[in-house]
Structure 1
Amino acid sequence: MFEQMKGAIFDLDGVIVDTAKYHYLAWRSLAEELGFEFTEEDNERLKGVSRMESLNILLEIGRIDASDEERERMAASKNERYVEFISRLHESELLPGVRAYLTDLRSRGVKIALGSASKNAEFILSKLNIRGLFDAVVDGNQVVNAKPDPEVFLIACRKLGLEPAECVVFEDAAAGVQAAIAAGMGVVGIGRADLLPGADKVVSGVDELIA
């Protein structure tokens, strides 16, 4: 898999940086405003899911009905809280081994893309001071269908000018692993093997991939 790899496509949250904690705090704050508790266990259901679908899950948990207009307002409110949190991001919050591995891939001529549901991906990469290490960024502003649909990875592949079989995806969510498989790409799971069925290889973190 790695021998044929000409392109590497990375998810953002949980692979490059742990912004999941900030997402959770922002969703929990919204839930409190709406009058119910949103737990860390509930938050697991939102991994790798788009913002509006995440909101739908949260409202389902709280048993709250809302119009499309109200949902748009709630999603915007959550994002404002989230952006407030990540505005304080620093490159020290990069997960172990990420900068070294990205730099190593580039030195070997491997093209690098980001494939994330986040609509704040460009902002986060800039805050982490690693935007220059990516040849392409595909985020939630460019994608219609959320993972496990393969759209985000197929767009990233096209932006790199490569075929799916030449790309390897690095993912921490089951939905992302399934999206990579559906795209016809190799996939490295970041996390626990029992939570990432179908991955070609599973490591606990990117630092394990450094030669």
Structure 2
Amino acid sequence: MLEHMKGAIFDLDGVIVDTAKYHFLAWRELAAQLGFEFTEQDNERLKGVSRMESLRILLEVGGLELPEEQQQKLAESKNAKYVEYISKLEQSELLPGVREYLTGLREQGVKIALGSASKNAAFILERLGIAGLFDAVVDGTKVSKAKPDPEVFLTACRELGLAPQECVVFEDAAAGVAAAKAAGTGIVGIGRPEVLGEADWVVAGVFELVQANNK
């Protein structure tokens, strides 16, 4: 699968960098302001989904129903706190093997895209010093449907000028794997096989892909 791919599409959180911890801290802080506890277990439900959908899940956890206008303000408040955290991101926070693997793909002539629900994706890539390695960045500013809808990956394929079957998606969330499956791409799961069983291949991290290439 990987030896024939012409395009590689990467999710951001949990694949390239672990910003999930900053999302969790920001959501937990918001929940505390609203008067309830938001646990790491609750946070699992937010993986791979959009900001507004994440807020709806958080409010469900707290048993709250709020008007749309107030929800928008809360989402903006959470994002401001998250941006405060990620503005301190350093290149050392890039997950093991990522820079080496991306550089290797470019040397092989493989086109590279980001496919993420994050609206801060471009900023994060700049902070990590890898923005120049991507041919396309498809994020929450370009798509409206959250994973498991395939919109983000189909858009990335179009921006790379490739058919879905020519591309492989690298994902750490079950919703992302489902989205890639619906898009018709190949899928490498990054994480635990019991969560990502629908992927074509599952590895613990991108570093394993680098090790496989070096064998």
Aligned to 1:25: 25
TM-score, length of structure 2 as denominator length: 0.98
> Partner of 2:44 in structure 1?
44
CA distance in 2 between partners of 1:69 and 1:121 (Å): 25
Is 1:148 the counterpart of 2:153? The answer is no
Q: Please give the residue correspondences for 1:127-146 in structure 2 after superposition, counting only pairs within 5 Å.
A: 127-146=127-146
Distance 1:3 1:207 in 2: 17
Runs of 4+ in 1 over 6 A off after TM superposition: none
Structure 2 distance, partners of 1:112, 1:139, is 14
Secondary structure at the aligned position of 1:144 is classed as coil
**2:9 is the counterpart of 1:9:** yes
2:75 maps to amino acid:
A
Structure 2 match to 1:98? 98
Give 1:133 deviation, angstroms.
0.2
Give 1:144 shift.
1.2
Percent identical among aligned pairs is 73
The DSSP-based 3-state class of the residue aligned with 2:38 is coil
- What secondary structure, in the 3-state scheme, does the structure 1 residue paired with 2:156 have? helix
Matching residue of 1:180? 180
Q: Offset at 1:93?
A: 0.1
Within-5 A mapping of 1:110-121: 110-121=110-121
Name the residue aligned to 2:82: 82
How many equivalent pairs are there? 211
Alpha-carbon offset, residue 115 of structure 1: 0.1
Residue type of the partner of 1:163?
A
Give SS of 1:113's match: strand
Corresponding residue of 1:196:
196
Alpha-carbon separation, structure 2, partners of 1:83 and 1:74 = 14
Q: Any stretches of 5+ residues in structure 1 without a counterpart?
A: none
Q: How many angstroms does 1:21 deviate by?
A: 0.2
Deviation at 1:65, TM superposition (A): 1.1
1:103-162: CA deviation from partner (whole Å, max 9, x where unpaired): 000000000000000000000000000000000000011111100000000000000000
TM value normalised by structure 1 = 0.99
Q: Distance in 1 between matches of 2:2 and 2:35?
A: 49
Segments of structure 2 that go 5 or more residues without pairing to the other structure are none
Cα distance in 1 for residues equivalent to 2:209 and 2:99: 12
Letter in 2 for 1:189: G
For 1:82, the aligned partner's letter is Y
2:166 aligned with 1:161 = no
Quote the Cα distance in structure 1 between the aligned partners of 2:117 and 2:137: 11
Q: Which amino acid aligns with 2:156?
A: A
Q: What's the secondary structure of 1:114's corresponding residue?
A: strand
Letter in 2 for 1:24: F
Q: Distance in 1 between matches of 2:165 and 2:21?
A: 33
SS in structure 2 at match of 1:193: coil
Shift of 1:197: 2.1
Q: Deviations over 1:167-202 (max 9, x none)?
A: 000000000000001000000000000001210000
- Aligned residue in 2 for 1:60: 60
Per-residue Cα deviation, 1:53-102 (whole angstroms, up to 9, x for no partner):
00000000001110000000000000000000000000100000000000
Paired with 1:64 and 1:135, the residues of 2 have a C-alpha distance of: 42
